[in-house]
Each structure stands twice: as structure tokens, then as C-alpha cells.
Amino acid sequence: MDKMNRTIIYSATTVIALLNGCSFQQSVEKDLITGAFSRGEGISCEEVHIDTGGRTGKELAFVYGEKVNILFENVRGFTEQNGKVFPGLSIHVVENGQDTLLAYPDLFEAIGEGTDLSPLQMQANFTAVLPYGNKKDYKAYIKIWDKKGTGTFSYEMPFTVMESKLLDVRSSGLEYGAVYLWNLTRNEVVLDSVFSQKDSLILIIEGTEGFREVGDKVYPELSVALSDRAGRALLSNPNLLGHVQLKGIPSDDIAREDLFVKLGFTEGHIDNPCRLKVVLADSNSEKKIEVSGELYIQ
């Protein structure tokens, strides 16, 4: 599962650079409310917009799995050659001021012939598939530069990642990095409670810590129950980890291994809403993580 999940995360965390036309005004310097900061040396920008799924504003707390668009309006100051300019754009996302989790040194590397769009809008996108437990803080460092001159424009955006309201996660003694639903069919994090019976889902629990060790091993239990509005069971398993109850899991491995529950459905009438409950428990203590939510299966 670890290899599969890493593939999911890296494929989801892609950054796209786009160029569009727009109108000129003035450049951004600093936002005292959010802590976002910009500095231009030869290159200016009218304003920076944060757009998440069609919702625009200055919110710098993103829902896990949310697609974040950072738009730089009316960028100017580049050196022109034959009516074209040659911009560069990079982005790095750093966790807690130390670890770089995302790095794209030149998003416009493929645009070697430059662009004649004027006025100029530049855009960088990423998906916030970043751990949100254990007080994680992030900062995006974005740099725009002139490939034919010395001008630069830098932008720093502090932000946090929060749980989706789709799931109610309650922890008693156990810590975790993230809990979310992944849609295997659509290859994306589930942010909406309504989905198709044809969709295959996985509930993933990342980075669990706090299990009581017994001989350098831990003994987790993972149960799942899914029922319809009338209480009829659609899916039930008292312990998906029954195969490790005797041998346990090395304590050094549990935090690196993602635990998951696969949810699949047969076509037919379903009495919505459905109630999902998943419990990750420690066999040798009272510690546990309870995950619940309402799902609408169409």
C-alpha cells in the first residue's frame, strides 16, 4: 500500500503554469492579514489571487486535497526581444520551515520561444495533499524572473491544511498525519459526499503514531461498517488487520505505512444517506481513531 499511496500523492501534486491576457493596474507588496509577502526587483505584479475550486478570496487554510490556483495579475517589467518576453516561474513548498515537500525549479522551461501576450497573467497550481496533523505549517515560495534580464518578483505564501468536513475524525491517544477518502476511479481526493456506485473508494489513514509497543512491535486493529439509512449493513468487517494480530507490525514501520479501507459497491437501489464508521484501535491500550461520515451513493 505504501508504494501505491506515494504514487497517488505525487501524481496528484502537479503544478501547471499558464499564460493569459489581462489588464494592467498596480503591483502587490504585502498582506498584513494573511502574512503573504511579495517583493519585486524590476518586475511588478498588480495583485495575487488565490482561487480554490472556483472560490476566490484571501483564505490561506486549504482543505486536504483541494486544488489551489495562485494567479499573478498584470505581471510586467520583462526584457523584450522581437516583441516577446521570456518569463520563468518556480515554486517550492516547505513544511515547518525545514523540509521541502514540493519543488518545481522552472515551470516555463518548455516555453523556450517566449510569449507575446500583453498584459500578462501567470498562474501556478498545486493540490494540497499535505499532512495536516501534528501542527503542520507550510509556506509556498514562488519566484518569477526574466530569462533575458535581471528582473525578479518573489512571493511567499504561508498556509495551513485542514481536514475535510466530509469526515468526522476523533482521536483518543493516537496521532495521525492525515485521514481522507481517495477515489480510485477518478484518481483524486474525495471532497463531496455524493458519488457514483461505479466509483471505487479507499479511506486512507496516514502517519499513525502512539501505539503501545510490545517487544518492539505494535498490534493495531482496523474495523469498518457501512450501513444505509434503515441501518442495513452494506459492508462490515470487525478487523481488516486480523492477519497481523499474531505477528504484529514493527514499531518503526507503523508510522511509515498507510492504513487503508477499500470501499466498493454493487449497482442497485441504495437507501441514502449511508453511514460510514471506521475505527483504528490499539490492541494493547484504549487508544483509537474513530472516523465517521455520511455518504450519498448514486
Order of strands, sheet of 120-127, starting from the edge strand that comes earlier in the sequence: 17-21, 120-127, 67-75, 47-52, 55-57
Average pLDDT, the chain: 85
Greatest CA separation found in the chain? 72
Does residue 6 lie in a domain region?
no
The 8 Å CB, 24+ separation contacts for 196-199 are 196/297, 196/298, 197/265, 197/266, 197/267, 197/268, 197/270, 197/297, 197/298, 198/267, 199/265
Which of 162, 184, 209 delimits the end of a domain?
162
Residue range 92-119: mean pLDDT, rounded: 90
Domain-terminating residue out of 144, 162, 180: 162
Residue 33 has pLDDT above 70, yes or no: yes
Q: What is the pLDDT of residue 14?
A: 36
Strands (E), 164-238: 168-172, 178-183, 188-189, 194-195, 201-206, 217-218, 220-227, 233-237
Residue that finishes a domain, picked among 128, 162, 196? 162
What's the pLDDT score for residue 13?
34
Question: What does the pLDDT look like over 131-183, one tens digit per residue?
Answer: 886 678 899 999 999 999 999 999 999 999 988 889 999 999 999 988 999 99
97 falls within a domain = yes
| pLDDT reading at 275 higher than 70 | yes
Q: Is residue 3 part of a domain?
A: no
> Residue 284's pLDDT band (boundaries 50, 70, 90)?
very high
Cα–Cα nearest to 283, from 259, 248, 240? 248
Confidence of residue 22 (pLDDT cuts 50, 70, 90): very low
Question: Are residues 63 and 83 both part of a single domain?
Answer: yes
pTM for this structure?
0.72
Confidence of residue 54 (pLDDT cuts 50, 70, 90): low
Q: Which residues neighbour 191 within 8 Å (Cβ) at sequence distance 6 or greater?
A: 53, 63, 65, 66, 164, 166
Confidence of residue 244 (pLDDT cuts 50, 70, 90): confident
pLDDT at 243: 87
pLDDT, position 222: 97
Let me know whether 43 and 140 are in one domain: yes
State which residues form the domain around 232: 168-297
- Residue 58: the pLDDT is 58
Q: Is residue 19 a contact partner of residue 120, using CB atoms and an 8 Å limit?
A: yes
Beta strands at 288-297 and 194-195: parallel, antiparallel or unpaired: parallel
Residue 144 domain-assigned? Answer: yes
Average pLDDT over residues 242-259: 87
* Cβ–Cβ under 8 Å, residues 11 and 187: yes
- 61 and 86 together in one domain: yes
With 50 as the cut, is the pLDDT of residue 8 above it?
no
Predicted confidence band at 56 (pLDDT cuts at 50, 70, 90)? low
Structural domain contains residue 203? yes
**Which CATH number covers residue 266?**
2.70.50.60
In terms of pLDDT, which residue wins out, 168 or 27? 168
* pLDDT, average across residues 199-207: 93
Task: Report strand pairing: 61-63 vs 152-162.
Answer: parallel
For residues 239 and 288, membership in a common domain is answered with yes
pLDDT at 223 (0 to 100): 97
Percentage of the chain exceeding pLDDT 90: 57
Q: What pLDDT does residue 57 have? A: 57
